[in-house]
């Protein structure tokens, strides 16, 4: 674990030194004014239809979570906060599993129609179980037998136990769509470029494609404190340098950036506040097991070679030290380092370049180096598997990810494994490439919540709805499926630990680290907090203010 390649570290230093601030963004978008916050972001939504296969971007939820507002949301400490519910939903019966909920009497859509249980039935359950709708996941909704409504009161009866019932009923991950708008419509064409109504603190106003989305205060929102602001402008700047320069230049007041080296400059600038914390998100490398990936990745020894050929602690030290000192290597795919139940099952694969070469040669692979070398250009070929050359996919325009790839590419090339970059815009990567399974190795972050581990079968069970890597181990699947129907938390943790012990042998993914989450705001702005869950920093947008 302590072995280092000083050649690689020097290379990273040279790359980091080249990250000079680029030219300022071109004029065009609105500048901030009284009652307005400009929120700068790197990814523009492909549509305003969240949680569809062609639009599973976190960036979309930042806009839509306060338009399609659920019954509860999670705050920046991952605790439940009431919104369109007047009280928390209740588990009133275990067989059949039955849950009741009560919509707030003041909850209304922006067109004046009341928010009722029918919005959960039509704009939630019926919409998501419709096989014609290309939704990201039907998990939970498909286990519902009926949603019985009496005005604002709802009774949900499940076909079987569903352990994450509270998240499902709260509607915080997908939001609840208005029944009077979506009923009878083609779900795959909803909200392409606008949203007609809102039940949250803001409502959609306009979208200047390629530049910005503007939302304005919803005066009919009264179930929680109303927005202090008149509007929020989401301004999209793909280039990392230009994005941070725009914030410095006062072209925006808020940013929830992915980890980038430029954050270090803001930490020293008294004109800005930087908040950071560990979140329920993790960076990882998924490995393709399906037919569109190379046969070599289906060989366990090749995946082990990848795992031990990447110096994950070195990457954290070289790239994250200035903005997240002491960032620990993540040794689990299900639990975060700070969670109860975390077991470092992947720790048994320490970085060991000599071990990688010995392993590959022991399997009859030829053509690679005899010892690790930063100048190596010889790539291994293995019997029945071919050349160990893999496409490496990730988001374009993200400098820290580009640097991470640079390090990983050099580390693996030094032991005879080749990575070919395939960087794509976020909309294309997550909307098309990822769900198509047409990739070899892909690096991205899963944004999650404390309850996400309950539905780990979505990601790692055979046929899981978001198991885009096509990993399949029947024993793991059985354990994860048991987890999803187990109400006792201690028992769920035991099942998950058993599943991960097997997964660590299979290596379906390579965990990197829990992603630190950041929120940067100008001294003129108040209320922005770094989020811990997929709810995002807009969870308390009604409390934002600007002077």
- Categorize the per-residue pLDDT at 370 as very low, low, confident or very high, splitting at 50, 70 and 90: very high
User: Would you place residue 174 in the very low, low, confident or very high pLDDT band (cuts 50, 70, 90)?
Assistant: low
pTM: 0.86
> What is the number of alpha carbons within 13 Å of residue 390 lying toward its C-beta?
32
Locate 382 and state its tokens.
């293995």
Mean pLDDT of all residues in the chain? 92
pLDDT at 132 over 80: yes
Query: Which residues, other chains included, contact 196 with Cβ-Cβ below 8 Å and sequence gap of 6+?
Result: 111, 181, 204
Q: What are 3-38's pLDDT values in tens digits?
A: 222 233 333 333 333 333 222 333 344 444 559 999
Contact residues for 137 (Cβ-Cβ < 8 A; gap 6+): 51, 458, 465, 466
Let me know the angle formed at the C-alpha of 104 by 102 and 110, rounded to the nearest 5 degrees: 130
Query: Nearest to residue 536, comparing CAs of 453, 447, 450?
Result: 447
pLDDT band at 134 (very low <50, low <70, confident <90, very high): very high
Name residues whose C-beta falls within 8 Å of residue 318's C-beta, 6 or more positions apart in sequence. 9, 12, 13, 407
Report pLDDT for 173: 59
Q: What's CA 166's distance to the chain center, in Å?
A: 20
pLDDT at 420 over 90: yes
Considering the chain, what percentage of its residues have pLDDT values greater than 70?
93
Q: Looking at the DSSP assignment, which residues form a beta bridge with residue 516?
A: 278
Backbone phi, then psi, for 393, in 5-degree steps?
A: -105, 140
Say yes or no to pLDDT of 172 above 90.
Answer: no
**Segment 312-365, tens digit of pLDDT:** 999 999 899 999 999 999 999 999 999 999 999 999 999 999 999 999 999 999
pLDDT band for position 547 (50/70/90)? confident
Domains of the chain: 26-275+518-547 (3.40.190.10), 283-516 (3.10.105.10)
C-alpha span between 470 and 509 (Å, rounded) = 11
Q: Which segments of 178-294 are extended strands (E)?
A: 202-208, 212-217, 231-236, 254-255, 272-287
| Cβ-Cβ contacts under 8 Å for 269 (sequence gap 6 or more) | none
Q: Residue 166: helix, strand or coil by DSSP?
A: helix
Does residue 110 carry a pLDDT above 80?
yes
d(CA 330, CA 347): 9
Mean of pLDDT values over 500-521: 96
**pLDDT exceeds cutoff 80 at 180:** yes
Give 56's pLDDT tier (boundaries 50, 70, 90).
confident
Rounded mean pLDDT, 59-67: 94
Output the pLDDT for position 34. Answer: 59
Give me the mean pLDDT over the 446-469 stretch.
95
pLDDT at 397: 87
Instruction: Compute the average pLDDT of residues 269-294.
Output: 95
Q: What is the pLDDT of residue 175?
A: 74
pLDDT of residue 25: 33
């Amino acid at each position: 674990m302590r072995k280092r390649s000083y050649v690689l570290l020097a290379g990273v230093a040279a790359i980091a030194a080249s990250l000079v601030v680029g030219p300022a963004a071109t004029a065009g978008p609105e500048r901030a004014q009284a009652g307005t916050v400009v929120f700068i972001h790197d990814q523009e939504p492909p549509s305003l239809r969240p949680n569809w296969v062609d639009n599973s971007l976190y960036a979309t939820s930042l806009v839509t979570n306060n338009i399609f507002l659920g019954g509860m949301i999670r705050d920046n400490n991952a605790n439940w906060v009431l919104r369109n519910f007047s009280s928390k939903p209740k588990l009133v019966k275990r067989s059949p599993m039955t849950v009741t909920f009560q919509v707030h009497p003041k909850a209304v859509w922006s067109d004046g129609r009341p928010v009722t249980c029918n919005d959960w039935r039509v704009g939630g359950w019926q919409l998501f179980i419709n096989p014609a709708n290309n939704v990201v996941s039907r998990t939970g909704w498909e286990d519902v037998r009926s949603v019985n409504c009496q005005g604002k009161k709802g009774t949900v009866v499940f076909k079987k136990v569903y352990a994450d019932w509270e998240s499902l009923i709260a509607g915080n991950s997908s939001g609840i769509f208005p029944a009077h708008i979506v009923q009878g419509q083609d779900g795959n064409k909803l909200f392409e470029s606008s949203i007609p109504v809102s039940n949250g603190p803001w409502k959609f106003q306009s979208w200047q494609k390629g530049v910005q989305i503007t939302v304005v205060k919803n005066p009919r929102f009264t179930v929680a404190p109303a927005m202090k602001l008149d509007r929020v402008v989401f301004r999209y700047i793909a280039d990392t340098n230009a994005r941070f320069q725009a914030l410095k230049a006062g072209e925006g007041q808020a940013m929830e950036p992915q980890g980038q080296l430029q954050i270090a400059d803001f930490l020293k600038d008294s004109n800005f506040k930087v908040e950071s914390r560990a979140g329920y998100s993790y960076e990882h490398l998924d490995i393709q097991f399906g037919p569109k990936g190379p046969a070599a990745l289906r060989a366990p020894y090749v995946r082990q070679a990848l795992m031990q050929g990447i110096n994950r602690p070195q990457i954290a030290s070289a790239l994250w030290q200035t903005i997240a000192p002491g960032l620990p290597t993540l040794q689990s795919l299900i639990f975060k380092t700070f969670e109860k139940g975390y077991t470092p099952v992947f720790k048994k694969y320490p970085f060991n370049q000599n071990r990688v070469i010995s392993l590959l040669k022991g399997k009859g692979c030829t053509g690679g180096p005899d010892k690790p070398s930063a100048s190596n250009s010889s790539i291994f070929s293995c019997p029945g598997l071919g050349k160990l050359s893999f496409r490496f996919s990730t988001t374009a325009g993200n400098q820290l990810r580009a640097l991470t790839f640079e390090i990983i590419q050099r580390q693996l090339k030094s032991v005879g494994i080749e990575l070919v970059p395939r960087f794509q815009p976020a909309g294309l990567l997550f909307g098309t490439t990822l769900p198509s399974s047409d990739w070899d190795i892909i690096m991205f972050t899963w944004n999650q919540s404390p309850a996400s581990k309950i539905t780990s079968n979505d990601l790692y069970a055979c046929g899981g709805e978001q198991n885009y890597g096509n990993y399949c181990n029947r024993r793991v699947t059985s354990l994860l499926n048991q987890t999803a129907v187990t109400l006792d938390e201690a028992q769920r943790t035991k099942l998950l630990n058993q599943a991960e012990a097997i997964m660590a042998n299979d290596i379906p993914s390579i965990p990197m680290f829990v992603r630190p989450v950041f929120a940067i705001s100008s001294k003129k702005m108040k209320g922005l907090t770094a989020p811990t869950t997929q709810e995002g920093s807009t969870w308390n947008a009604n409390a934002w203010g600007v002077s």
